[in-house]
Amino acid sequence: MSSKSAIGIFDSGYGGLTILSEIRALMPEYDYIYLGDNARTPYGTRSFDIVYRYTLESVRQLFSMGCNLVILACNTASAKALRNIQQNYLPKYAPDKRVLGVIRPTTEIVGKYSKSRHIGLFGTEGTIDSMSYNIEISKFHPDIKVTGQSCPMWVPLIENGESASDGADFFVKQYCDSLMAKDPLIDTVILACTHYPLLKDKIAKYLPASINIISQGPIVAASLKDYLSRHKEMEQSISRGGNCSFHTTEQSAKFTKNASIFLDASISAETINY
Ligand code: DGL
């Protein structure tokens, strides 16, 4: 394991910032490196092979910056690349490093939110079509019926700073209506894309008021804390300065500006090529 280093947090773009905020709120003592592959976002419409390649390149970049632990703060990458990285890449090329995703922590605990045992899922096409949530939820909660709705317009709206605009309402209503028409017994909806918490208020407006809407940030943060408490060697390899640096494969000025939509504090990003 390389010497003390930050935790790497990766997303195809800005969405992982919703996870980073919650992780930092819970564990402010550690250092973090955020990497957004904004030049190649969105991942949600891309094939398994491409998502795997882009995700692996990004993970390797974070490893080369010293990270021993990388969180894929992206459902699409978690659905389409994580297993392959964990089972094939790491044992061969980086046996001391770890890569964790956001799907497993969410599926483990989602059962406690639903009384009707009917759960809805909003995600990218890639996440919904992969059936990763259905498979994982059936392992932990075999009595739960999962119904997915892909929302291909939501990430572009959010990435372009339109999440609060009136125009966004049209597409939020469209996907909410479509999900509830597929299964009116749904009482819990998972926002299974790390971008979607930015649309949470609008989503709440177009779903029945009784529905629990689950954002992953607090769940992933709690799960990471638990992981570190059980993996002391990894925990001790993380540097503790309370710092976070931000890196993007696109223009740094654009990232710096748009990140403020996702974070309360202002930040300064650097462009990185790999
Ligand atoms: N934030 C990513 C996720 O959680 C999706 C964004 C994209 O399509 O690239 O799935």
Task: Please choose, from the candidates 220, 156, 183, the residue with its C-alpha nearest in 3D space to the C-alpha of residue 22.
Answer: 220
pLDDT at 94: 97
Task: Spell out which residues line ligand 1, taking CB within 6 angstroms.
Answer: 11-13, 15, 41-44, 74-76, 124, 127, 155, 193-195
- Tell me the per-residue pLDDT of 23-43, one tens digit each, with 9 for 90 and over: 999 999 999 999 999 999 999
Pocket test for ligand 1, best of 129, 163, 194 (most atoms within 8 A of CB): 194
Please tell me the distance between residue 236's alpha carbon and the centre of ligand 1 in angstroms: 30
- Kindly state the tokens that stand for 191: 């926002």
**Dihedral of alpha carbons 103, 21, 226, 56, sign:** positive
pLDDT band of 1, cuts 50, 70, 90: low
- Tell me the per-residue pLDDT of 137-166, one tens digit each, with 9 for 90 and over: 999 999 999 999 999 999 989 888 899 999
Q: How far, in Å, CA of 31 to CA of 244, rounded?
A: 6
Atom of ligand 1 at shortest range from CA of 41: 9
- Kindly state the tokens that stand for 80: 């389409």
Mean pLDDT of 175-180: 98
User: Which residues, listed in sequence order, are joined to residue 106 by a DSSP beta bridge?
Assistant: none
Please tell me the distance between residue 232's alpha carbon and the centre of ligand 1 in angstroms: 31
> Phi-psi bin for 113: left (phi > 0), alpha (psi -120 to 50), beta?
alpha
Mean pLDDT of 202-218: 97
Provide the annotated active-site residues.
Answer: 74, 193
Task: Please choose, from the candidates 122, 176, 115, the residue with its C-alpha nearest in 3D space to the C-alpha of residue 141.
Answer: 115
pLDDT at 266: 87
pLDDT at 161: 84
Residue 210 in this model has a pLDDT that exceeds 90:
yes
Please tell me the distance between residue 226's alpha carbon and the centre of ligand 1 in angstroms: 25
DSSP states of 190-258 as a string?
EE-STTGGGGHHHHHHHS-TT-EEE-SHHHHHHHHHHHHHH-HHHHHTB--S--EEEEESS-HHHHHHH
- Kindly state the tokens that stand for 144: 């739960």
Please tell me the distance between residue 222's alpha carbon and the centre of ligand 1 in angstroms: 21
